[in-house]
Amino acid sequence: MKIVNFPLIFALAFALPLISPASAVLAADESAPTEPRFINGWGDEEVNKHDWQPYSEEAAAKRGVNEISFYPPGAEPTAEQIQAANELIEKTKAAAKRHNWYKFGECLKEGYEPYDISHYFNVEYANDGRRLDPDRPETLMYYWNDKGELKLVGVMYLLETNTELGPQLGGPLTTWHFHSKVSSYCWWDGPFKHPNADGTCQNGVATRQSPKMLHVWLVDHPDGQFGTAMGVPQKVVDALP
Whether the pLDDT of residue 123 is over 80: the answer is yes
Q: Which of 39-43, 70-74, 89-93, 226-230 is the most confident on average?
A: 89-93
Q: How far apart are CA 234 and CA 231, in angstroms?
A: 9
* Average pLDDT score, the chain: 83
Name the band, by pLDDT with cuts 50, 70 and 90, for residue 99.
Answer: very high
Whether the pLDDT of residue 5 is over 60: the answer is no
Over residues 119-124, the mean pLDDT reads 93
Q: Count other Cβ atoms within 10 Å, centred on residue 150.
A: 18
Pick from 138, 226, 146, 224: nearest CA to 187: 138
Pick from 91, 76, 75: nearest CA to 24: 91
Q: What are the residues facing 50 on neighbouring strands?
A: 41
Q: Could you give the 3-state DSSP secondary structure of residue 152? A: strand
Q: What digits encode the pLDDT tens for the residues 144-199?
A: 999 999 999 999 999 988 888 888 899 999 989 999 998 899 888 776 788 998 88
Q: How far apart are the first and last CA of the chain?
A: 19
Q: What digits encode the pLDDT tens for the residues 185-239?
A: 988 877 678 899 888 898 878 999 999 999 999 999 999 999 998 889 999 999 9
Amino acid code (one letter) for 218: L
Q: Which pTM does this prediction carry?
A: 0.83
